[in-house]
Chain A
C-alpha cells in the first residue's frame, strides 16, 4: 500500500511570494489533514477535510492560507503572500475516516524556508 505522498519536499521562497504544496493521501482514505510543524515544536493542525468538505479550519490563517480538496482525493495548500514566520515543515496526513481520526498516516512533509 502506497503511503501519503507530498511534493515538493523542499521549497525556498522570498517573503511576499506565494507557494503551493500538494498532497496525495492513501487510496480510500476519506479524511485528510494539513499540519504546520515549526522547528522545535509539535505539529499543529491547520485544516481537516472529510472527502471534499472542510471539517475544521479553526487554526488556518485564512488571510494568507487556503486549501482545497477537489474531488475528495488530492489536496493543495497555498500560502499567499508568505511571511518569514511561515518557515516550517508542512505535513499532510490521512485517515480512513473521521471515526478513525486518531489513526493518521503522515507524509514526509514539505520543508518551507521563507527568506
Chain B
C-alpha cells in the first residue's frame, strides 16, 4: 500500500518570502505524484503533477516541485509568495497505472502574512 507524509501541518510565511512544503511518499511501485491546493471554502484544485519525464514540474502561478526518487520526495516550492497563496496544500500519490486511486497526505496549511 502507498502512503504520503506531509511533514508540516502549518507553515506561516511572510509575503514575498520563499516557502517549501515537504512531501514524502512510500510505494513499492512506480508512482504519479501531485500537489492539490484548497483555497478557503473551495474544492481541491490540481496545482501540478509529475507523471514521467523531467523531474522538475512547474505550475502557472510560480510553484514548482521536484521528484526525487532516491529520497521518495516531491517537495513543493515557491520563491516568493503572495497573500493569495494562503491555502491548504495536499500532496497525493497514485500508482503509475490507469485506474489507480489517489492517496492524499494530511495537508499543509500555508498562512501568508503581510
Q: Which residues of A contact B (CB under 8 A)?
A: 3-4, 33, 40-45, 48, 55-56, 91, 93, 98-109
* Residues on the B chain within 8 Å of A98, using CB: 98-99
Question: With contacts A42-B106, A104-B102 known, what are 8 further pairs, Cβ within 8 A?
Answer: A33-B101, A40-B106, A42-B6, A42-B92, A42-B107, A43-B102, A103-B49, A107-B43
Interface residues on B, range: 20 to 34
Q: Which residues of B contact A (CB under 8 A)?
A: 4, 6, 9, 32, 34, 36, 41-46, 49, 51, 90, 92, 94, 98-107
- Asked if A40 and B101 sit within 8 Å, CB to CB, the answer is no
22 contacts between A and B (CB under 8 A): A4-B43, A33-B101, A40-B9, A41-B106, A43-B90, A43-B102, A44-B104, A55-B99, A91-B44, A98-B98, A99-B99, A100-B98, A101-B94, A101-B100, A102-B49, A102-B100, A104-B46, A105-B46, A106-B36, A106-B44, A108-B42, A108-B43
